[in-house]
Amino acid sequence: MIIAVVIATRNRIGVTRDFLNSLATQQGLDRECVLRVYACDDGSSDGTAEFLEARSNIKVVRGDGSLYWGGAMYLAMSKAIEDKPDYILWANDDVTLFPSAIKWMLDDSKCIPSQLCIVAGTFLSTSGEVSYGGYTRRPGWRLAVKRAPCGLRIDAFNGNLVLIPRDIYSKLGPNDPLLRHTLGDIEYGLRNVASGGVNISSSSIVGYCNRNARTATWEYHARFMDRLRGAFGPKGYPVKGWWHMCLKYSRKLSVVSNFVAPYIRVFYRAR
């Protein structure tokens, strides 16, 4: 069995090295299970790309620094799909994995008889709160999600650690390159459900990963123009990708209202 581990990297060589070491020490996997890493390095200047290329078990695609998470993951995942592994495992290189994390997720992917599932890993922050994992859609007209506990069917997920069986990625393809950073992982979960697939959150906590500070997001910028640029930029709601997402997943009468909602927030600084 081959698991293609797909990562995006940029200018944090120590973090990337620690993550690769955690992969090498995963426990409970069958002897024939092979982890192959597919990395897209998006223009690192600290030697990350050279470090990755020096390792024989890693296939590296280079970016020019403009790809962001979604663009880099799209290139790395497309390269992995060419080799048709049994599973693709999205991973962020800043996660700290428990020693049996991948084994637990493999077990979870087979929890529904006769149907493989996408499994989203659930993480804790170092303060003990759930930081990343799965989401269910909120009721009503809004295209919005809320956090889900471990071990449930979910509609969407964070991309920190996501196990995707071959039958599913062969049907869905890679993540949407129009969503260059924010929303690319959420969209993939919604896409799987829309195609008749099943997503579940991992039945166990799989590791630690602290959330990015909320005050670092565009909604908290003090200057109006900074909020405006952030809202329309890759880490906000890029117009083409967000419109495409609203068309695909909004309820029929709420496409336009969902589309304009995040841009209205530009006029109200978050507190």
Answer yes or no: is pLDDT of 113 > 90: no
The answer to whether residues 186 and 71 belong to one domain is: yes
Answer yes or no: is pLDDT of 58 > 80: yes
What's the domain range around 53? 2-208
What mean pLDDT is predicted for residues 18-42? 96
The answer to whether residues 143 and 180 belong to one domain is: yes
Q: What is the pLDDT of residues 125-161, one digit of tens each?
A: 999 999 999 999 887 666 777 778 788 899 999 999 9
Show the tokens assigned to 159: 């991309």
Domain count, the chain: 2
> How many Å apart are CA 162 and CA 247, to the nearest integer?
25
The answer to whether residues 199 and 258 belong to one domain is: no
For 142, residues 6+ apart whose C-beta sits below 8 A from its C-beta are 254, 258, 261
Q: Among 208, 228, 254, where does a domain finish?
A: 208
Q: Which residue has the tokens 């084994």?
A: 103
The predicted pLDDT at position 271 comes to 59
Q: What is the pLDDT of residues 154-172, one digit of tens each?
A: 999 999 999 999 999 999 9
Mean per-residue pLDDT over the chain, rounded: 92
Chain-centre distance for alpha carbon 176: 11
What mean pLDDT is predicted for residues 88-107? 97
The answer to whether residues 59 and 122 belong to one domain is: yes
Model confidence at 251, in pLDDT bands (50, 70, 90)? confident
Are 39 and 70 in contact by the 8 Å Cβ rule? The answer is: no
The answer to whether residues 130 and 59 belong to one domain is: yes
